[in-house]
Chain A
Amino acid sequence: AQTVTQSQPEMSVQEAETVTLSCTYDTSESNYYLFWYKQPPSRQMILVIRQEAYKQQNATENRFSVNFQKAAKSFSLKISDSQLGDTAMYFCAFMKHVYAGNNRKLIWGLGTSLAVNP
Chain B
Amino acid sequence: EPEVTQTPSHQVTQMGQEVILRCVPISNHLYFYWYRQILGQKVEFLVSFYNNEISEKSEIFDDQFSVERPDGSNFTLKIRSTKLEDSAMYFCASSENETNEKLFFGSGTQLSVL
Contacts and interface: CB of A to CB of B under 8 A. Distances in A.
Contact of A98 (B41, B44, B100, B106): B100
A44 B56 CA distance: 23
A12 B111 CA distance: 30
Interface of B is mostly: strand
Interface string A89-114: 00101010011110111111110000
A42 interface: yes
Interface in B2-44: 31, 33, 35, 41-44
B101 A43 contact: no
Contact of B95 (A37, A50, A104): A104
Interface residue tally of chain B, by bracket? Answer: 20 to 34
A33 B103 CA distance: 12
Interface in B72-93: 89, 91, 93
B74 to A, nearest CB: 19
Interface residues of A, number: 24
Nearest to A108: B43
Given A33-B101, A110-B42, A104 B48 contact: yes
Interface of B: 31, 33, 35, 41-45, 48, 55-56, 89, 91, 93, 95, 98-108, 110
For the complex of A and B, the 9 pairs showing the least CB-CB separation, nearest first, are A45-B105, A108-B43, A44-B107, A103-B56, A98-B101, A105-B45, A43-B108, A108-B42, A103-B48
Interface of A: 33, 37, 42-47, 50, 91, 93, 95, 98-101, 103-110
